[in-house]
Amino acid sequence: MEVRVLDTSDEMGQAAAELFAQRIEGKPDVVLGLATGSTPLKMYDALVRLYEQGKLDFSHVVSFNLDEYVGLPTNHDQGYRYFMDKNLFDKVNIAKENTHLPDGMASDLAAMCAAYEEAIKDAGGIDIQLLGIGGNGHVAFNEPGSGKESRTRVVDLTSETIRDNSRFFKDESEVPRQAVTMGIGSMMEAREIVLIADGADKAEAIAKALEGEITAAVPASFLREHPNCTFLLEREAASRLSPGALESGYGAGWGTIGVSNPRHPSRGGLNFVLRFSGRKPK
Ligand code: PGA
């Protein structure tokens, strides 16, 4: 587990883009797991810039998105296919047939979910999975209560998520009540996971995910059990991490340090590395 705290959300987006760019360079037919929401926008912008500069080739890249609302027509401007086309796919040379999102309009949603999992397997599995985090600790649409073994399925959105996402719709009543999401079990099969978060409204969820119990009440906490997971945090999003961990970071100067989780000092797997850059968080 590695946690990097970056000074600004621009730097967070840049760091995430650099990681993804390295994986694309290292394996031109890499299978990416992608996410929507406001947090990934800076990363997608940075990837588009690298493509425009001739530094990145998406022609063999394959992608699978995490989730999609149920019942929004494919071309709806709040649908996730529309989001991905607009913010990434239409701006780079990825082959559209290599890009996959769950179909929230499928007449048999359960069959579509099973086929989605199969398609990921057939593609060889996800090499690197991008995740955001909800204010309630959700990852993709795995709301609190989602189990570690959960698979791609239809879920009911919590009132908190409906409220959070209503900023993208005319009003809250327009936000779909259900979504299709990859499960925790599905995403934990990715070879590498990168979670990005910015803003103070993510700080509590981040603190619980990294330093609280590993529990379905905070689905992002399960990521601590993944063998190759990095959290890239803008400093406000990191501001509720325990003072002990953060202060030892400051005391050591800016750089990379190993920190054991004070609540679970004996559990080696829970140790994480904090890397700081830029100014000290407030
Ligand atoms: P956001 O959403 O990037 O729009 O904050 C993240 C999430 O809810 O997973």
Report how far apart the first and last C-alpha atoms of the chain are (Å, whole number): 24
> pLDDT value at position 243?
66
Give every CB contact of residue 171 below 8 A, 6+ residues apart in sequence. Answer: none
257 has pLDDT over 90: no
- pLDDT tens track for 131-169: 999 999 999 999 999 999 999 999 999 998 899 899 999
Mean pLDDT of all residues in 55-82: 95
Strand partners, 178: 156
Hey, whose CA ends up nearest to atom 2 of ligand 1?
Answer: 37
Ligand 1 centroid to Cα of residue 83, in Å, is 13
Mean pLDDT to the nearest integer, 26-35: 98
Query: Residue 256: CB within 6 Å of ligand 1?
Result: no
- 252 Cα–ligand 1 center, Å: 32
Ligand 1 contacts CB of residue 134 (under 6 A): yes
pLDDT in tens, 223-232: 999 999 999 9
**Residue scoring higher pLDDT (122 or 260):** 122
In whole numbers, what is the pLDDT of the chain averaged over residues? 88
212, 144 Cβ separation under 8 angstroms: no
Catalytic residue among 136, 142, 165, 261: 136
The pLDDT of residue 244 is 57
For the question of residue 143 being annotated catalytic, the response is yes
Sheet strands (E) in the chain = 2-6, 31-34, 62-65, 67-69, 99-100, 128-131, 153-156, 178-181, 192-197, 229-234, 256-259, 272-276
Share of the chain residues as helix, strand and coil, in percent rounded to the nearest 5: 40, 20, 45
**Locus of tokens 């409220």:** 163
Distance 260 CA to ligand 1 centre (A): 28
Separation of alpha carbons 53 and 125, rounded Å: 29
pLDDT of 254 > 70? The answer is no
